[in-house]
Amino acid sequence: MRPSSRPANLGIDPARLMGRIEALGRIGALPGGGVSRLALSEADRQGRDCVAGWMRGLGLAVTVDRIGNVFGLRAGAEAGPPVVIGSHIDTVATGGLYDGALGVLAGLEVVNVLNDAAIRTRRPLAVAFFTNEEGARFAPDMMGSGVLSGHLGLAEALAAVGIDGATVGDELARIGYAGDAPVGAIAAHCYLELHIEQGPVLDAGGIAIGAVTGVQGICWTEYRFQGQTNHAGTTPMAMRHDAGYVAARVAVEARRLAGEIGGVQVATVGRLAVAPGLVNVVPGEALLTADLRNTDAATLAAADERLRAFAAQAAAAEGVGFEARPLARFAPVAFDPELVALVEETARGLGHSVRRMPSGAGHDAQMFAPHCPAAMIFVPSRGGISHNVTEHTDPAQLSAGAEVLLRVALEKAGVV
Amino acid sequence: MRPSSRPANLGIDPARLMGRIEALGRIGALPGGGVSRLALSEADRQGRDCVAGWMRGLGLAVTVDRIGNVFGLRAGAEAGPPVVIGSHIDTVATGGLYDGALGVLAGLEVVNVLNDAAIRTRRPLAVAFFTNEEGARFAPDMMGSGVLSGHLGLAEALAAVGIDGATVGDELARIGYAGDAPVGAIAAHCYLELHIEQGPVLDAGGIAIGAVTGVQGICWTEYRFQGQTNHAGTTPMAMRHDAGYVAARVAVEARRLAGEIGGVQVATVGRLAVAPGLVNVVPGEALLTADLRNTDAATLAAADERLRAFAAQAAAAEGVGFEARPLARFAPVAFDPELVALVEETARGLGHSVRRMPSGAGHDAQMFAPHCPAAMIFVPSRGGISHNVTEHTDPAQLSAGAEVLLRVALEKAGVV
């Protein structure tokens, strides 16, 4: 799609964008730095009120749906599904200022620019933030966009019990965001999400913009091994059934397998535990989790099966029982190729270095992708750090991403 | 040493031996089976009173030393250091009837046989039980025999604080076993200890008696790895500093190294833990313990150094920091070759299958070995199980061990 003519001197206001980011960052601020706005908490409510207030101040028509997603609609010359710019404002318990907030507030900055320039778009434009993207207080993550898209049932989501025992339904009502707008179907012309990378690739490469091609599929499996607890001194090596040894072999194999598969394949053993855990006792039980990800579903499934087969063989060789339990399975999501190309060309046209890359983390965009063209724009995360109070992206980098977002959104919405 | 002439029809009384084992086993009995007589607990006190009562009933002169070791002395025709038969009566929290108790009560059975046959030995004979052999409530293990032999200081032992906060000194006084007899030097002609194997070798081989050649040296090392916590999805494999991966490599290497060294070398990773321990987070920290044992001190030291060198190289390759902390070092102990040969010949002479083997577990005998000829006699542990309420050795197997003990003790004490 060739970028059409549009006002050449349009530009975002970096200070205004940072001003809103910092203002929202004061809501739920932690003493040492960083933010805690767990989904549907008091801080989340205050954050919602703040952003909804900005929406109204920008003349957007604000609606709240039944899972608490908030939309601010800017009418276009024509009726029809809007270009949606979205992300989330809830955070993890020790979060930063940018994860989610950037995409929402850059959307408000886009609206602000259009208002200031008195630009009327052909299609409507909406800025949205979705309930409980993080999944830190209530599982699963991407709950609001999941319910909106029909991926997750509303009743099931409302019944979800949080880490503190409260339910989503009760908390939504308590904070006054149990809205009326229907859920279960996406009505969008396309979806755009600006987000920090949460990884080290752009930062390490000195690259300004990531044109995100899709989201990695995820495969989480828990392995449990049952061997025989024994005395570390009196049990000959040949007579052992060491569950911990087998788990260690599987952990080493996960790394080797990722290397052999190559490409974007990642493999992580995040949990590894043995019991009874005494220095002089051969471990009779062990547990590990394997987190495998790839953008190709078949490759991912094959990796999972190969690791499982290895675990079975290693367990058998040691006379140890094992069971593999799937913890989570998310299919890879590919973003719309034309939209991805538009992001890339737009970044280049603005003079920014840009790189195509998959997202290793889940985002609201993946809930939209099956229903309408969707794409994401990444900006660097310093040191790749995320979900951490020290999460940081330079103001200039944030603005560069917002500039790309503005132009892509305008291209998709069309100017009258 | 050629077995000299002695009364040919002397034999232990299996039912009497079992009777005392079962009676002591009722003190501290656990509801589902097994025993708990933690050192210096009420149950230990009752056990001590019971055994000391039996000692007195058998005409032994009972003395208690300053660390609570209890000796029952049977005078011989000559003065001089006694032949000591010993073990312990304290247990782990979920112990069995035989670990320690067998050696003490078989000693009483030996005395009983000599009394019944009105046999006067040349050298005195002593039966002893030593305080806190297990180290379950107070560290270190083999405390009583350690203090007696001068290996461990009395003041340090008395000051030891247990898992429940009590001190050894206070508890000894509380249960009435803070004795007057001096510690710090062994005065024994030789030391004999009958004990269950606590391992699977005799049982698996269908062998009745173990002629124990010595105790394996022990090398415990704790390894800590410091990497970088990272997002499992967004962090490329080449940019990781996965402390858990390095720990897993070291655990696998420990097994490989033991196999390469062969012989009696054992290697156990009993503790293995990673942090933060979340499925989707690359572990930034990890810890493991390595328990290495061998009867040869040089081989053991080399094994420890090779594993450490491997850990250093594996950590460096992953850009992970590491530190290795020695937790415990016990030199191998060789038992007196003549005494070991006497045990072996005696067993054979009685028609029992016998095998020379090292002990993979620590015993009071190792505290005596540097100071006088010492040896141990093993009997099988069913399934190799020990430190477990299901610990079991058949009565016939227990009696076979006691028979060997009787004859070896008589040979060493001499008959008048």
Confidence of residue B41 (pLDDT cuts 50, 70, 90): very high
pLDDT score at A328: 85
pLDDT over 90 percentage in chain B? 93
- Tell if the CB–CB gap between B273 and A272 is shorter than 8 Å: yes
Instruction: Name the phi and psi angles at A211, rounded to 5.
Output: -90, 100
Q: E strand or H helix at A309, and its extent?
A: helix A297-317
CA distance B146 to A402: 73
Best of A279, A291, A379, A381 to mutate (most B CBs within 10 Å, chain B): A279
Contact B273 A278 (CB under 8 A): no
Q: Are strands A83-87 and A125-129 parallel, antiparallel or unpaired?
A: parallel
For the four alpha carbons of A147, A152, A158 and A163, in that order, the dihedral sign comes to negative
Q: Which of A200, A269, A278 sits opposite B235 (nearest CB)?
A: A200
Q: Which residues pair with A292 in a beta bridge?
A: A219, A267
Tell me which DSSP letter residue A381 carries: -
Three-state SS for chain B is CCCCCCCCCCCCCHHHHHHHHHHHHCCCECCCCCECCCCCCHHHHHHHHHHHHHHHHCCCEEEEECCCCEEEEECCCCCCCCEEEEECCCCCCCECCCCCHHHHHHHHHHHHHHHHCCCCECCCEEEEECCCCCCCCCCCCCHHHHHHHCCCCHHHHHHCECCCCCEHHHHHHHCCCCCCECCCCCCCCEEEEEEECCCCHHHHHCCCEEEEEEECEEEEEEEEEECCCEECCCCCHHHCCCHHHHHHHHHHHHHHHHHHHCCCCEEEEEEEEEECCCCCEECCEEEEEEEEEECCHHHHHHHHHHHHHHHHHHHHHCCCEEEEEEEEEECCEECCHHHHHHHHHHHHHCCCCEEEEEECCCCCHHHHCCCCCEEEEEECCHHHCCCCCCCCCCHHHHHHHHHHHHHHHHHHHCEC
Contacts of B384 in chain A (CB under 8 A): 230-231, 234-235, 239
Q: Do A258 and B242 touch (CB under 8 A)?
A: no
Helix axes B243-261, A243-261, angle to 10 degrees: 120
In angstroms, the first-to-last Cα distance of chain A is 18
Bridge partner residues of B288 (DSSP)? B223, B272
Distance of CA B310 to the CA centre of its chain: 31
**Closest partner residue to A277 among B244, B270, B283, by Cβ?**
B270
Q: Do B232 and A271 touch (CB under 8 A)?
A: no
Single-letter amino acid code for the residue at A138: F
Q: How far is residue B52's CA from residue B63's CA, in Å, rounded to a whole number?
A: 9
CA A52 to chain centre: 22
Decide if A270 and B291 are in contact by the 8 Å CB cutoff. Answer: no
Nearest-angstrom CA–CA distance, B5 and A412? 109
Q: Do A266 and B200 touch (CB under 8 A)?
A: no
CA Rg, chain A, in Å? 24
- Amino acid sitting at position B325: R
- Looking from the CA of B312 toward its CB, the CA atoms found within 13 Å total 8
Mutate to test the interface with A, among B141, B280, B389 (most CBs of A within 10 A): B280
Partner-chain contact B237 A266, CB within 8 Å:
yes
> Could you give the CA distance from residue A406 to residue A11 in angstroms, rounded to a whole number?
8
**A280 to B386: CB separation less than 8 angstroms, yes or no:** no
Chosen for mutation from B268, B320, B389 (greatest number of chain A CBs closer than 10 Å) is B268
The answer to whether A234 contacts B280, with C-beta atoms less than 8 Å apart, is no
For A126-135, B5-14, B83-92, B197-206, which range has the lowest pLDDT when averaged over its residues? B5-14
Give the mean model confidence (pLDDT) for residues B239-264: 98
pLDDT at B8 over 80: no
Show the tokens assigned to B388. Answer: 């477990």
Q: What ranges do the domains of chain B cover?
A: 14-215+333-413, 217-330
Contacts 24+ apart (CB under 8 A), A298-304: A299/A261, A299/A263, A299/A265, A300/A217, A300/A219, A300/A265, A300/A332, A301/A219, A303/A219, A303/A257, A303/A258, A303/A261, A303/A265, A303/A267, A304/A219, A304/A221
Low-confidence residues of chain A: pLDDT under 50? 1-5
Question: Are B134 and B93 a contacting pair, CB within 8 Å?
Answer: no
Residues in chain A closer than 8 A to B248 (CB atoms): 247-249, 251-252, 269, 272
A33 SS3 class: coil
**What's the pLDDT tens digit per position in B338-360?**
999 999 999 999 999 999 999 99
Using CA coordinates, name the residue in chain A closest to B234: A360
Rounded to whole angstroms, how far apart are CA atoms B34 and A17? 71
Alpha-carbon distance B359 to nearest alpha carbon in chain A (angstroms)? 7
Q: What is the pLDDT of residue B386?
A: 87
Cβ pair B236:A200 closer than 8 A: yes
B387: confidence class by pLDDT, cuts 50, 70, 90 = confident
Q: Quote the crossing angle between the two packed helices B14-25 and B101-116, to the nearest 10°.
A: 140
Characterize the bridge pairing of strands A230-231 and A281-282.
Answer: antiparallel
Both tokens assigned to A187? 């009505």
Nearest in space to A193 (alpha carbons), one of A210, A217, A176, A179:
A210
The mean pLDDT of chain A is 96
Neighbours of A276 (CB within 10 A): 12
Query: Do A43 and A37 contact (CB within 8 A), yes or no?
Result: yes
Res B107 pLDDT > 50:
yes
ipTM of the complex: 0.88
Query: Is pLDDT of B243 > 70?
Result: yes
Asked if residue B16 has pLDDT above 80, the reply is yes
Check B198 against A265: CB less than 8 A apart: no
The pLDDT of residue A386 is: 87
The CA distance from B361 to A231, in Å, is 8
d(CA A381, CA A391): 7
Model confidence at B7, pLDDT cuts 50, 70, 90, reads: low
For residue B224, the model assigns a pLDDT of 98
User: Residue B357 forms beta bridges with which residues?
Assistant: B212
B219 to B105, B145, B266, B299: CA distances (angstroms) = 32, 21, 11, 11
- CB-based contact B232 A259, cutoff 8 Å: no
Residue B4 has pLDDT above 80, yes or no: no
Domain at B217-330, CATH class: alpha beta
Using CB atoms within 10 Å of the CB of residue A163, give its burial: 0 to 12 exposed, 13 to 18 middle, 19+ buried: exposed
Partners of A277 on chain B (C-beta within 8 Å) are: 270-273
CA-nearest of A178, A211, A179, A65 to A126 is: A65
Q: CB A280 to CB B270 under 8 A?
A: yes
Q: What is the mean pLDDT of residues B78-92?
A: 97
B201, B215, B225, B231, best to mutate vs chain A, most A CBs in 10 Å:
B231
The whole-number pLDDT of residue A388 equals 84
Interatomic CA distance for residues A410 and A343, integer angstroms: 12
For the segment(s) A14-215+333-413, the CATH number from 3.40.30.10, 3.20.20.70, 1.10.10.10, 3.40.630.10 is 3.40.630.10
Q: How far apart are CA B241 and CA B250, in angstroms?
A: 15
* pLDDT value of position A7: 59
Q: Is residue B378 predicted with pLDDT exceeding 60?
A: yes
Closest CA to A364 of A136, A135, A110: A135
Show Cβ contacts of residue B402 under 8 Å, excluding neighbours closer than 6 positions: B12, B17, B106, B109, B110, B194
Using the Cβ of A91 and the Cβ atoms of chain B, whether some distance falls under 8 Å is answered with: no
Q: Are B178 and B169 a contacting pair, CB within 8 Å?
A: yes
CB B340, CB B329: distance < 8 Å: no
A224 contacts in chain B (CB < 8 Å): none
Mean pLDDT of B112-123: 97
Neighbour count for residue B370 (Cβ, 10 Å): 14
Greater model confidence, A413 or B1: A413
Q: What is the Cα–Cα distance from B245 to B247, expressed in whole angstroms?
A: 5
The Cα–Cα gap between A386 and A371 comes to 29
Residue B6 has pLDDT above 90, yes or no: no
Does position B2 have pLDDT exceeding 50, yes or no?
A: no
List all residues 6 or more positions away from A256 whose beta carbon is below 8 Å from its beta carbon. Answer: none
Residue with tokens 């940018």: A98
Q: Is there a contact between A71 and A65 (Cβ–Cβ < 8 Å)?
A: yes
Phi, psi at A285, each rounded to 5°: -140, 145
